[in-house]
Structure 1
Amino acid sequence: MHDIDHDWMDEVRKNNSDVKIVPRILFDGWEVQASVQFLQNDAWMNRCASDLINLLTRTQFDGAVVELWASVMIQTGGEAVELLIEMLRAWGDAFHKKDLQLIVPVGPPLNPENRPTGMFTPGHFFALSEKVDYVQDFFGCSATYSLSYTQIMTYDYTSKDMLGVAPYDWVDHSIAAVLDRLPEVAGQLMVGLNYYGYEYSGRSIEAVNFDKYLEKLKKDGNKLEWDSKAKEHFVNTGSISIELKLALIFRSSKIYYPSLTSIEMRLNAARKHGVGAAIWDFGQGLNYFTQLL
């Protein structure tokens, strides 16, 4: 862990004592065998959890966002899911005993056709949200959950067509698919919202932050339009030319980028289902997006 700005953390907490500051913990570059061996070895998992908790406590963080679910599910085709759930439940218990939050992002539950991906199911959510023990508080005994929050990556929409970054119906159906008949644990779920955009040109897709978006929007002839199907705004930037050996190929280009309208619609969907919201790449958004939070 590097570049911890404790002065900034103190200033944030001074302005709002309820704010929790939780860093992302990434498990990148692991081979399949290493991931499975880690999940099968209680000593390794316990040592990792202990070291992580000590680090978070020492550096004055309030918990962590542990990114492990999606990579393990993809690597193992879901075969290691029981081991993964067992590990995260154990970690959640260890975190809660130290008054730390454990947040786990998971892959999208539905594909672009709104069919289950198997990446995250109601059964998985129930196992991670189940009440596992009781903690003493001022009012007596109250239940605690395996995880503080599970966050579904509803900004990770993949389609060969230019249908937006996270089409509204897909986001709404994804929330409903995870909750299924589990409304009592809706408070443990967060829907992912993107503050970045994508530029689609032919088969090419490129991430777009606010600088590039504003640059394209200000160009003559470019105008903001509404995609009624995706329920997102986009800028039709016309055509781009790709030079091949003996010819130029022209392809249409669009930039989908969040707007107050698209963000508010997704926040309203979260409210309707009783879930929270998690913003991905907050710094890539426009400053006035915070008006909705």
Structure 2
Amino acid sequence: MRSTKAHIIYCILLGCQYALCTLSPNTKTKSKHRESKFLRGPQDNDVFELDLVSTEPFAKDILIHHEAYYKDTAKRRFNGTILGYVTPWNSHGYDVAKMFAKKFDIISPVWLQIVKQGDDYAVAGTHDIDAGWLMDVRRKGKVQQQQHQLRTVKVFPRVIFDHFTDRDIKLLLSDAKERTNLNEMLIQTCKQHGFDGLILEVWSQLAGRIDDKILFTLVLQMAKELQKQQLRLILVVPPKRKDMPNLFGEKHMDKLYKHIYAFSLMTYDYSSVQRPGANAPLYWVRNAVEHIAPVGCHDMEAKRAKILMGLNMYGNDYTPDGGGPITYGQYLELVRHVKKQLTHDERDVENFFEIKTETGRHIVFYPTLYSINERIQLAQQLGVGISIWELGQGLDYFYDLF
């Protein structure tokens, strides 16, 4: 049984899913931000002023502050490009995209799939397109810049090839007319819904299975035909791994960077149930960027400016049975069992904790203000942008960092 009234309050409020709202703190002192109040919504102080960006954060501080954020949501700390993914299966991501719209340069709803209907190509997933939400995001994301220029959020839906057979892939890759038909359909979809371009996730699917030259042809033709219609293509690319180091490297970057608007680098999912550990070790993230745009390479600054370094907002809960990925709700249920501070993994620059509950033993890796801030600083140092997978999986106060 909990020994203090404060802990009883924690349990009651957690059971009610943080339904209560309290006033913001009036001072910057540590004693204020560690009082047993659950904060929600806009606040007068950001996470830096509240001294919450700590190497070993207290679990109770996470529970108290995670739904609060600095009231000036237009304030940006990171000066590179920020892309945020949003998925239909995580409704809070839609809210986050609107709440912090001014912090993002690109929003990518994960809505669309390329499918075959007989011999023709079609776009599936259009039923998920929310025109009203898109209008809200664009309206809330307008930022007045210097010389009276207005910056607006761009919308690049992600698109994947879905249920393509080997025959379908072979036909598409070998026939220029097939690719033209596909691109015309994608262009029509963009124009119909007012998209600024597309994010294509195909490289991880096909690289290593087919000749690079054929894959280059597919991507470059799509990029060029979109560009003729004032549309742009962002390409999702895999990071360097020991078991498959050359799926996307410097030679691929050299060939593509002048034609591709940006590269969404998937620097997450380093660990797994089979190999538990950090979600994205900092040294590995750095190596992944330097692998495709090494120090001193030709046009290094231009290449790196187009790299959007992946930043995960989800974590992993490892258990004797395996476990798996977790988002904020599951994380909060677990972190409330932590009595004091989270552990700092010095090598990987992440936080984790170990607990034992009625369901058994858990080792939990999940982003913290500290771990995210370290990766934002790395992106700034390397001269790259950021791609967040995905909005709504993390805690609201994370966005004070961007």
Q: What residue in structure 2 maps to residue 13 of structure 1?
A: 138
Give me the whole-angstrom Cα distance separating, in 2, the residues matched to 1:149 and 1:220.
Answer: 40
User: Could you say which structure has the greater relative contact order, defined with CA pairs below 8 angstroms and 6 or more residues apart?
Assistant: 2
Q: Please state how far the C-alpha of 1:237 moved relative to its aligned partner.
A: 2.2
Q: Give the 3 Å change call, closer, same or farther, for CA 110–220 of structure 1 in structure 2.
A: closer
| 1:167 is the counterpart of 2:281 | yes
Q: Please state how far the C-alpha of 1:163 moved relative to its aligned partner.
A: 2.3
Do the aligned residues in 1 keep the contact of 2:250 with 2:291 (CA within 8 Å)? Answer: yes
Give me the whole-angstrom Cα distance separating, in 1, the residues matched to 2:342 and 2:232.
Answer: 40
| 1:227 is the counterpart of 2:345 | yes
Secondary structure of 2:128 counterpart: coil
Specify every segment of 5 or more residues in structure 2 that has no aligned partner in the other structure, as ranges. Answer: 1-125, 143-151
Q: 2:178 aligns with which of 44, 56, 67?
A: 44
| 1:94 is the counterpart of 2:225 | yes
Secondary structure of 1:83 counterpart: helix
Give me the whole-angstrom Cα distance separating, in 2, the residues matched to 1:9 and 1:170.
Answer: 35
The TM-score normalised by the length of structure 1 is: 0.83
Q: Which amino acid aligns with 1:62?
A: D
Secondary structure of 1:282 counterpart: coil
Do the aligned residues in 2 keep the contact of 1:72 with 1:80 (CA within 8 Å)? Answer: no
**Paired residues for 1:119-158 under 5 Å:** 119-129=247-257, 145-158=258-271
**Higher mean displacement: 33-42 or 275-284:** 33-42
The TM-score normalised by the length of structure 2 is: 0.61
Specify every segment of 5 or more residues in structure 1 that has no aligned partner in the other structure, as ranges. Answer: 130-144, 242-249
Give me the whole-angstrom Cα distance separating, in 2, the residues matched to 1:96 and 1:15.
Answer: 27
Q: Give the 3 Å change call, closer, same or farther, for CA 172–101 of structure 1 in structure 2.
A: same
Larger Rg: 1 or 2? Answer: 2
Q: Please state how far the C-alpha of 1:54 moved relative to its aligned partner.
A: 0.6
Q: Give the 3 Å change call, closer, same or farther, for CA 207–26 of structure 1 in structure 2.
A: same
Q: Give the 3 Å change call, closer, same or farther, for CA 211–39 of structure 1 in structure 2.
A: same
| 1:282 is the counterpart of 2:396 | no
**Paired residues for 1:177-196 under 5 Å:** 177-180=291-294, 181-182=297-298, 183=300, 184-196=302-314
Q: Please state how far the C-alpha of 1:240 moved relative to its aligned partner.
A: 8.1
Deviation string for 1:137-171 (max 9, x for gaps)? xxxxxxxx311011111013146443211111100
Q: Please state how far the C-alpha of 1:116 moved relative to its aligned partner.
A: 6.1
Q: Give the 3 Å change call, closer, same or farther, for CA 283–191 of structure 1 in structure 2.
A: same
Q: Please state how far the C-alpha of 1:238 moved relative to its aligned partner.
A: 3.2
Q: Which amino acid aligns with 1:95?
A: L
Q: Give the 3 Å change call, closer, same or farther, for CA 205–39 of structure 1 in structure 2.
A: farther
Q: Which amino acid aligns with 1:176?
A: E
% identity of equivalent residues:
28
More strand by share: 1
Report runs of 4+ in structure 1 exceeding 3 Å deviation. Answer: 158-161, 220-223, 238-241
Give me the whole-angstrom Cα distance separating, in 1, the residues matched to 2:323 and 2:214.
Answer: 35
Q: What residue in structure 2 maps to residue 56 of structure 1?
A: 190
Deviation string for 1:249-269 (max 9, x for gaps)? x8x521111111111111111
Deviation string for 1:8-57 (max 9, x for gaps)? 21122122242001111111333334323311111111111110111011
Q: Give the 3 Å change call, closer, same or farther, for CA 240–73 of structure 1 in structure 2.
A: farther
Q: 2:376 aligns with which of 259, 267, 270?
A: 267
Secondary structure of 1:199 counterpart: strand
Q: Which amino acid aligns with 2:166?
A: V
Q: Which amino acid aligns with 1:196?
A: Y
**Higher mean displacement: 87-96 or 213-222:** 213-222
